[in-house]
Amino acid sequence: MAEAPASLIHPSRIPNRWMQLIAGIVAMMAIANLQYAWTLFTKPIQAHLHVSLVAVQWTFTLFIALETWLVPFEGYLVDRIGPRFMLGIGSILVAIGWVGSGYAETVTSLYFWYSMGGIGAGIVYGGTVGNALKWFPDHRGLCVGLTAGAYGIGTASSIAPIASMLKTSGYQHTFIIWGWIQGAVVLMCALFLARPPEGWTPPKWEQKAAKIKAKINTAAHDLTPWEMVRQPSFYVIYLMMTMLAFGGLVVTAQLNPMAASYKVDKIVVAFGMTAVVLAITVDRLLNGLTRPFWGWASDHIGRENAVFIAFLLEAMAVYALLQLIAHPVWFVVLSGLCFFAWGNIFSLFPSITADLYGSKWATTNYGVVYTAKGVAAAFAAPGAAWIYTNTGSWNKVFWAMIVCDVIAAFMALLWLKPLAVRVARESERATQVEEPATAERLRTVV
């Protein structure tokens, strides 16, 4: 891929990288409702449009597909021209996604407008995560975790007012009002973002890099997306992320229908909230907190070890939820534990991608990996709804989640970890060969 021309590199109005991190976090919080508040809208939409749950959940699948599958292209544009302009476009699409959905009177129109929101959310998600990857090679897991965590936790602060507005004003009015709010917040945050200058490194980077390399498998080369997809390690990463994304997306999309089927959706548990509203609030808080926590942990114990521990924990949480889901309190607690174990994929997999394939094309490269979420969504939303409709039970869906978690956990330890070590060693050898050759060329020119 060609280098970005210097004329397209815009200096940041706020050069401090921590201020940019905060702006990215706020932008991610603003788009969280598009995915994580969706489950509250499914029943009202189904009743208003007179369509099946499967038909409604195709909206979620299209949203996830466009949010994820276009991120490689959007990430390429972010890598080329910087995040500010791209997030400005994203803010407009985020706004019209929900506003248009509020005016939709057919399921086809709903698909179109919510898909626009998916494109906007993908731009914001890819741009902010990519910016964190580039500005924080010294705290990659933690800072990407904080950024991705904002996407998980963002709904926690707004789920109660959204649920209240749904009851008093209906889902269409709720879509319209919150669509404008979320778009405006993203637009303001976009003004604070810019990519780092070419060759930029954080203070005392050489000493920090040596310490990081002792704990984490990192490559010395920056690979383009085309070079990345030719690596065997990429396909292991992609398969693992698909399997792991499936479980969390099932709970994200189907939590309200699950609660209704087990008759815990209308039981008030605490703080005047029903089990489902409290569960969504707790889930989003833990889904946000897990990302910086596991990102920080992976900076210290290694990415693959963190994946192994987290997803064995999730498999146990899903099994316990299967046994106790009909009890309102356990429904809240165990669905929250599922999210605490699951949400870390959105801090660990961006970090793994940048560790193995470099920072230069980090936004684009992670965008390619991120499309695995779109693959998983096809099974998690309409797929899981279809299984429930045809069997009258969520049991098979839960067991599929457990199997995916266990297999992916052991893949991280027994397959990805050795591959990552090999990638890091080969990259280091290639660098050692290239450096003398470069020095010889310079001497010849002089």
Q: What does the DSSP 8-state code read for residue 195?
A: P
**Tens digits of residue pLDDT in 319-351:** 998 899 889 999 999 988 888 888 888 888 988
DSSP-assigned beta bridge partners for residue 274: 268
In whole angstroms, what is the distance from residue 327 CA to residue 125 CA?
A: 35
Taking CA atoms, 393 is separated from 237, 387, 397, in Å, by 31, 8, 8
Judge whether residue 246 has pLDDT over 80. Answer: yes
Of residues 436 and 234, the one with the higher pLDDT is: 234
**Tens digits of residue pLDDT in 21-67:** 999 999 999 999 998 888 889 889 999 999 988 899 899 889 988 98
- Return the pLDDT at 220: 61
For range 350-370, the mean pLDDT = 87
In whole angstroms, what is the distance from residue 195 CA to residue 185 CA?
A: 20
Round to the nearest angstrom and report the end-to-end CA distance of the chain. 29
Q: What is the amino acid identity at position 261? A: S
- Return the pLDDT at 444: 41
Judge whether residue 1 has pLDDT over 50. Answer: no
For range 147-156, the mean pLDDT = 80
Greatest CA separation for the chain: 79
- Residues with Cβ < 8 Å from 144, sequence gap 6 or more? 129, 132, 133, 136, 291, 295, 347, 350, 351
Poorest-pLDDT segment among 120-129, 312-321, 352-361? 352-361
Q: Indicate the pLDDT class of residue 5, thresholds 50, 70 and 90.
A: very low
In whole angstroms, what is the distance from residue 186 CA to residue 34 CA?
A: 13
Q: What does the DSSP 8-state code read for residue 144?
A: H
Classify the phi-psi angles of 302: left when phi > 0, otherwise alpha if psi is within -120 to 50, otherwise beta: left
The full set of domains in the chain, from first to last, is 14-197+227-431 (1.20.1250.20)
Assign 3-state DSSP to the chain and report helix, strand, coil percentages, each to 5.
80, 0, 15
Enter the tokens of residue 55: 């038909």
Locus of tokens 């999210």: 339
Query: CA-based Rg of the chain, rounded to a whole angstrom?
Result: 22
In whole angstroms, what is the distance from residue 43 CA to residue 167 CA?
A: 12
In whole angstroms, what is the distance from residue 394 CA to residue 323 CA?
A: 12
For range 258-262, the mean pLDDT = 85
For range 211-221, the mean pLDDT = 64
Q: From 206, 202, 200, 205, select the one nearest 11 (Cα to Cα).
A: 200
In whole angstroms, what is the distance from residue 405 CA to residue 240 CA?
A: 9
Locus of tokens 């909206």: 59
In whole angstroms, what is the distance from residue 72 CA to residue 363 CA?
A: 8
Q: From 426, 380, 442, 354, select the one nearest 143 (Cα to Cα).
A: 354
- Return the pLDDT at 216: 67
Say whether 273 sits in a helix, a strand or coil.
strand
